[in-house]
Amino acid sequence: MTDTMTPPALAIRGLCKSFGGRAVLSGFDLDVAPGEVVALLGANGSGKSTALKCVVGLVLPDEGRAHVFGADLFDGSRSSVQARTRIAMVFQQIHLVRRRSALDNVCAGALGRLPLRRSWAPVAFPRELREEAMACLDRVGLADRAHERIAALSGGQQQRVALARALCQRAGVLLADEPVSALDPSAAENVMHVMTDLARSESIAVAAVLHQPELARRHADRIVGLRDGRICFAGHAGEISQNEISALYIANEKVSA
Ligand SMILES: Nc1ncnc2c1ncn2[C@@H]1O[C@H](COP(=O)(O)OP(=O)(O)OP(=O)(O)O)[C@@H](O)[C@H]1O
């Protein structure tokens, strides 16, 4: 639970998921408040991505509930569909259209709220949207690269475009699955800085899967540790000990020995 009085933007309760009879997520709970950055840490296969994928509907959970701004994401109602439009996802494998410009990719973040006829191609995005997208690119320091194709940008710049797209989507919740794993240390630091800055200034709730505990310690407000689909610890970044973090990555044989 968050310790603020602000109701969580994202609230997950009792999420369970098995694949082929093997439990990969067992009773996963998470609250993320607006403007808060929560890092999810855990070894490969501990269930981090599955948790995020359940929230966005890429994986169907066996049990559990998730609410975004109070709307149940799993009840199939109109409000759940609406709530999903407030969730943006950023992946390690950057999901941008490489042959389109940074600006077009950012505009695409708003497709969910445009009339259907305003599809990607070849209709031009409305001027107001292009202006909003340009402002979003400016927020991530890329206004001067707006008209370049994604393929011409570095990995770190592409990830910043993905963040600008989430801004243009007007997302209230950002789920980031290893957003910096493919980046060099300097680009990773930069993207983390941009992401946490946007979270705080735009009151976006961020849940980010990270494989770099030191980045989690430096940038996240809270850290949640997952092991074999269960939460081992959750607390303020400064209060989680190195031993707790190290234990997440010790092979199972050693832990049970
Ligand atoms: N669609 C699927 N079908 C079968 N098994 C799956 C599927 N998706 C995930 N798994 C399994 O579930 C477990 C948890 O996977 P998940 O991707 O959530 O872990 P993770 O903590 O994100 O790992 P990593 O750090 O390697 O990305 C793994 O053992 C994985 O092989």
CATH code for position 234: 3.40.50.300
Q: Same domain for 60 and 119?
A: no
Number of domains comprising the chain: 2
Q: Same domain for 158 and 81?
A: no
Q: Same domain for 221 and 144?
A: no
Ligand 1 centroid – CA 226 distance (Å): 13
Residue 143's domain spans which residues?
95-171
Q: Same domain for 60 and 37?
A: yes
138 belongs to a structural domain:
yes
Ligand 1 centroid – CA 44 distance (Å): 8
Q: How confident is the model at residue 177 (pLDDT cuts 50, 70, 90)?
A: very high
198 belongs to a structural domain:
no
**Could you tell me which of 234, 191, 188 has the C-alpha nearest to residue 212?**
188
Ligand 1 centroid – CA 163 distance (Å): 24
Q: Stretch 62-89: mean pLDDT, rounded?
A: 92
Q: Is the CB of 212 under 6 A from ligand 1?
A: no
Tokens 């994986």 belong to which residue? 59
**Model pLDDT, residue 121:** 54
Q: Which atom of ligand 1 is nearest to the CA of 50?
A: 18
197 belongs to a structural domain:
no
Measure the CA–CA gap between 46 and 135, rounded to whole angstroms.
38
Rounded to a whole number, what is the largest CA-CA distance in the chain?
A: 63
Q: Same domain for 236 and 138?
A: no
The pTM score is: 0.91
- ∠ CA 90-94-98, nearest 5°, is 135
DSSP structure class, residue 8: P
Q: Is the CB of 47 under 6 A from ligand 1?
A: yes
Q: Stretch 16-22: mean pLDDT, rounded?
A: 95
